[in-house]
Structure 1
């Protein structure tokens, strides 16, 4: 089969489009013919050596959608989707014509999602779902989501389904406009010192949950937090250090929740996908738009574009 593969890390030049043997599934596995695979920033960082536990040589790619061609009889022929920490790190991933993984590591694809749409959602939606679950977002929770990227928009959509009170915040004017056009009340972020006042104008007493998807607003979020509130984070500055106003957090009884999608394997992620996947078929979650589909053979060039800051959501199609 054809695949993208790297045998060393540190340079995208190590990523090549090659011919490799088609994987052979084990007794409890499935073999999925890939119809579409998402390209996430973490896939690029993987080739660049940001994940020391990656074993080599390796086929990257965490998010996929495809059809089961080998495995348990009840799954053969079904359209499935999936994601998970093994793929691309210590097991071959989805940037290939086929991928083998545990049978419990795939979920049935929602009918209303195309293969490309389903392949674009794995990491953003499981990350957002985990953030809402672990920070206790339920009906009427006063939620602030900071950022305008894929995880932030996934969190807003999933929180709306839960019936939470929703407030978005973004710095870039184009992100603010996009969020407002999607129907979310949105703050234009300015100086960090102003965040507390901005949020308290909307939520008297502060937000019960703040989800910072950018890695920059954790210190400022403390002033915007309600008593016993939770701040969920998925990113941090490059050096991993941040000045946290611990006294302010302590006085509010607040807590910080770290959200890391790479803590969840394919089986745990499939269980998440099963929990909200039907919401796409019921019209409760928006269908992805603006995807850029590209042949897998051109995948090396797409990796380079993402590494240079390209904003397109690339979908690789074998």
Structure 2
């Protein structure tokens, strides 16, 4: 089978197109013919050596959709999707023609989604779902999503609306705000971190009950925008991993920080999440995703470079 593989880290040039044998499945595993595979920034960082627990040689890729072609007879032919911490790090991942993984690591793909659409959702939607669930977002929760134009931000807004939350989006550029406003979403344009609290209080009197910072750069500024006993969820941090947090102000508000990291969840855990919110697509409650770019797996290195350069367009690789 054709697959992307790297035998060293530190340079994307280490990624190559290889001819590999089909994976051999064990008694408690399935073999999936990959129809589409999402390309995430974490996949790029993996090849660049940012994850010390990655074992080599390795096929990267966390997100996938496809068809089970080997395993228990009752599952053969089923259309599935999935993601998880094993894939691409210490187990070969989805940027290949075929993928072997534990039986509990696959969820049935929503019928209303194409393979490419389903493959574009794994990491962004499980990240957003985990953030909303662990931050107790529900009906009428006043939620601020910072970085709402990114894949995780868009997922958080869509899922929060299904949960019945009152959503306020925050972006850096006015053209980004206009796109969201055209979708009926209330938006504020981020300017000076010191004025974020005032901006949010103009919409949510007393502050937001939950703030989801998908960028990692607005964590200190989020504290003044937080309601009493509010929660701040975040998924990233500056490159050095440190922020100057106004801890006294957070303490006085009884605030809580929620770190969100989907690399803590194995494929089986992620499959449970996919089953939880995947039903919303077939029920017509979640819109089918669009705006992503399909690219051939054989052109994978160019796609990796594109993501590394900072594109906001979601890339889906097609074997």
Please indicate the TM-score interval, normalised by the length of the shorter structure: over 0.9
Q: In the alignment, what sits opposite 2:230? A: 229
* SS in structure 2 of the partner of residue 187 of structure 1: strand
* SS in structure 1 of the partner of residue 269 of structure 2: helix
Does structure 1 conserve the Cα–Cα contact (< 8 Å) formed by 2:151 and 2:314? no
Work out the CA distance in 2 between the residues paired with 1:140 and 1:161.
11
Answer yes or no: is 1:199 the counterpart of 2:200. Answer: yes
Q: In the alignment, what sits opposite 2:178? A: 177
Q: In the alignment, what sits opposite 1:260? A: 261
Equivalent runs, 1:273-312 vs 2, <5 Å = 273-312=274-313
More moved, 103-112 vs 282-291? 282-291
More moved, 23-32 vs 166-175? 166-175
* SS in structure 2 of the partner of residue 277 of structure 1: helix
Q: In the alignment, what sits opposite 1:50? A: 50
Q: In the alignment, what sits opposite 1:156? A: 157
The CA deviation string for residues 118-172 of structure 1, in whole angstroms up to 9 with x for no partner, is 0000000000000001111111111111112010110011010011111111112
Q: In the alignment, what sits opposite 2:20? A: 20
* SS in structure 2 of the partner of residue 86 of structure 1: coil
Work out the CA distance in 1 between the residues paired with 2:75 and 2:105.
12
Does structure 1 conserve the Cα–Cα contact (< 8 Å) formed by 2:43 and 2:60? yes
Computed over aligned residues only, the root mean square deviation of the Cα atoms, in angstroms, reads 0.8
Deviation of 1:182 after TM superposition, in Å, equals 2.1
Q: In the alignment, what sits opposite 2:244? A: 243
Q: In the alignment, what sits opposite 2:104? A: 104
The CA deviation string for residues 218-254 of structure 1, in whole angstroms up to 9 with x for no partner, is 1011100000000000010111110000110010000
Work out the CA distance in 2 between the residues paired with 1:75 and 1:271.
17
Deviation of 1:72 after TM superposition, in Å, equals 1.5
Structure 2 unaligned residues grouped into runs of 5+: none
Equivalent runs, 1:14-163 vs 2, <5 Å = 14-147=14-147, 148-163=149-164
Work out the CA distance in 1 between the residues paired with 2:302 and 2:190.
34
* SS in structure 1 of the partner of residue 188 of structure 2: strand
Structure 1 unaligned residues grouped into runs of 5+: none
Q: In the alignment, what sits opposite 1:214? A: 215
Deviation of 1:198 after TM superposition, in Å, equals 0.7
Deviation of 1:74 after TM superposition, in Å, equals 2.0
Work out the CA distance in 2 between the residues paired with 1:284 and 1:294.
28
Runs (4 or more) in structure 1 with deviation over 4 Å come to none
Does structure 1 conserve the Cα–Cα contact (< 8 Å) formed by 2:150 and 2:312? no
Work out the CA distance in 2 between the residues paired with 1:204 and 1:279.
31
Work out the CA distance in 2 between the residues paired with 1:301 and 1:159.
34
Q: In the alignment, what sits opposite 1:190? A: 191
Work out the CA distance in 2 between the residues paired with 1:68 and 1:173.
44
Work out the CA distance in 1 between the residues paired with 2:30 and 2:311.
33
Deviation of 1:314 after TM superposition, in Å, equals 1.2
Work out the CA distance in 2 between the residues paired with 1:100 and 1:200.
50
Deviation of 1:306 after TM superposition, in Å, equals 1.1
Work out the CA distance in 2 between the residues paired with 1:125 and 1:312.
15
Deviation of 1:216 after TM superposition, in Å, equals 0.8
Deviation of 1:304 after TM superposition, in Å, equals 1.1
Deviation of 1:281 after TM superposition, in Å, equals 1.0
Work out the CA distance in 1 between the residues paired with 2:313 and 2:200.
30
